[in-house]
Amino acid sequence: MTTEVPSSSTERYRAVQDSEEFGRLRRTVRSFVFPMTVAFFLWYALYVLLSAYARGFMSAKIVGNINVALIFGLLQFVTTFLIAWYYSRYAAQKIDPLADKVHADLTAGDTATTTTAATDDKKSED
């Protein structure tokens, strides 16, 4: 972002959206959340499909009365917790600093163009 901020807020958002910094932020977000969504959805779908169509496999006992189906089910819990934890770490380390930077530049622009926070607040709700 340059220090020259266009006056109209629409123009400003366009400028930010086209900026290299924002492009990096978007890529950082999307390259994580889209593949991860596809991955956990397929992993969950696999589990449901196995429950529907691979009854023999799911019924195989591993230890005592604990069978593959139960382990698969518990693994869904484990992966959900792990993905949530991994995302929070990724977001804190990779996404937040970029988002904060763009946000700070935009806010600096707000003051530069004397657009006060109050009017921005009003305007945002159409």
Our finding on whether 86 is near another protein (CB under 8 A) is no
Cβ atoms of residues 9 and 109 within 8 Å: no
Q: Identify the CA nearest to 98 among candidates 8, 24, 34.
A: 24
Query: Residue 75 is encoded by which pair of tokens?
Result: 């693994």
The residues in 36-65 that bind another protein, with binding defined as CB under 8 A, are 36-37, 40-41, 44-45, 47-49, 51-53, 55, 58-59, 63-65
Least distance in angstroms from the C-beta of 86 to another protein? 11
- In angstroms, the first-to-last Cα distance of the chain is 26
State the Cα–Cα distance between residues 112 and 9, nearest whole angstrom.
Answer: 12
Q: What is the DSSP letter of 7?
A: S
Q: Does 71 bind another protein (CB under 8 A)?
A: no
Binding residues for another protein, per CB under 8 A? 9-10, 13-14, 16-17, 22, 25-26, 29-30, 32-33, 36-37, 40-41, 44-45, 47-49, 51-53, 55, 58-59, 63-67, 69-70, 73, 76-77, 80-81, 83-85, 87-88, 91, 96, 99-100, 102-103, 106-107, 120-121, 124-126
